[in-house]
């Protein structure tokens, strides 16, 4: 499976920056932003601003099986980088 990685930087409600990748098998900027919003809501950051400014396409690559499995199940995978709960 080829996956598309969207590099995302969002300001948390306490002011710190959360850096994470939204990974999906569909190269679609709007869906990537929607997936980021879904995940942010699930971690209590539903009011964080996320647009195509904060969530930008980075690259395409092959997917390791654990990530591919999560994408098949949920439509996306979040790779936490910095400042994420």
Phi, psi of 74 (to 5 degrees): -110, -10
Confidence label for 28 from pLDDT (cuts 50, 70 and 90): very high
Q: Two tokens at 25?
A: 């098998």
Q: Span 2-82: which CATH code? A: 3.10.510.10
Confidence label for 57 from pLDDT (cuts 50, 70 and 90): very high
What pLDDT does residue 58 have? 97
* Arithmetic mean of pLDDT over the chain: 97
Residues 1 and 59 sit within 8 Å (Cβ to Cβ): no
What are the tens digits of pLDDT across the range 8-22?
999 999 999 999 999
CA distances from 67 to 44, 48, 49, 63 (A): 23, 25, 26, 6
């Amino acid at each position: 499976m080829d996956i598309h990685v969207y590099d995302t930087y969002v300001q948390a409600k306490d002011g710190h920056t959360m850096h994470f990748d939204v990974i999906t098998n569909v190269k679609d900027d709007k869906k990537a932003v929607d997936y980021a919003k879904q995940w942010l809501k699930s971690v209590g950051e539903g009011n964080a601003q996320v647009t195509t400014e904060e969530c930008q396409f980075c690259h395409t690559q092959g997917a390791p099986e654990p990530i591919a499995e999560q994408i098949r199940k949920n439509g996306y995978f979040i790779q936490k980088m910095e400042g994420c709960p």
